Amino acid sequence: MNLLLKSPAATRKLGLELGKAIEPGDFIGLTGDLGTGKTFLVKAIAEGANVPEPATSPTFALVNVYGGRLRLQHLDLYRLTGPAELFALGFDDLLAEDAATVCEWADRAAEALPEDRLDIALEHAGATSRKARLTATGPRGERLLRAGTSP
């Protein structure tokens, strides 16, 4: 499913809808160049999920955890150096938590991603517009995709 997000408000709306629908065990993998809106989308997902703290970019920590309606894990793998560090981070343990996970630069953990997820690939499409390609890889992903794209 392809979306044209013509403004930050459109991206925020997508995030809010995803956040309302997200459940423990769900995984959303975000890919796209710097500045395409991955962190912006995570903030809106956190807002929609009604988790109190803003989901700022966990650039140094690699993972930030927010509590509220549910436990929301925000990962940013931009600085990931390789599989050894992914292991050190306890990626598999994080996925086993009773939590929902949103992961920036998910392609850097391609081998370790859960089978059932929603992938969102963001692309620049102008100063304030972005293209989003949403791909569900299982029933959880499908549920999120429907929530994010139903009018």
Q: Please report whether residue 11 would count as binding ligand ADP according to CB under 6 A.
A: yes
Order of strands across the sheet that contains 118-124:
2-5, 130-136, 118-124, 27-31, 100-104, 72-76, 63-66
Q: With 0-12 CB in 10 A as exposed, 13-18 as middle and 19+ as buried, what is 78?
A: middle
Contacted by 132, from Mg ion, ligand ADP, none: CB < 5 to 8 Å by type: none
Instruction: Considering only residues 58 through 117, tell me which ones interact with ligand ADP, judged by CB under 6 A.
Output: 104
Q: Please report whether residue 38 would count as binding ligand ADP according to CB under 6 A.
A: yes
Decide whether 25 or 121 has the Cβ nearer to Mg ion.
121
Cα–Cα distance list, 69 to 20, 48, 49, 142 (Å): 10, 10, 7, 21
Asked if residue 128 lies in contact with residue 104, where contact means CB atoms within 8 angstroms, the answer is: no
Site string for ligand ADP, 120-139 (x = CB under 6 A): --------xxx---------
Q: Which residue from 39, 64, 73, 101 is in contact with ligand ADP, where contact means CB under 6 A? A: 39
- Which residue has its beta carbon closest to ligand ADP? 37
Q: Please report whether residue 36 would count as binding ligand ADP according to CB under 6 A.
A: yes
Q: Please report whether residue 29 would count as binding ligand ADP according to CB under 6 A.
A: no
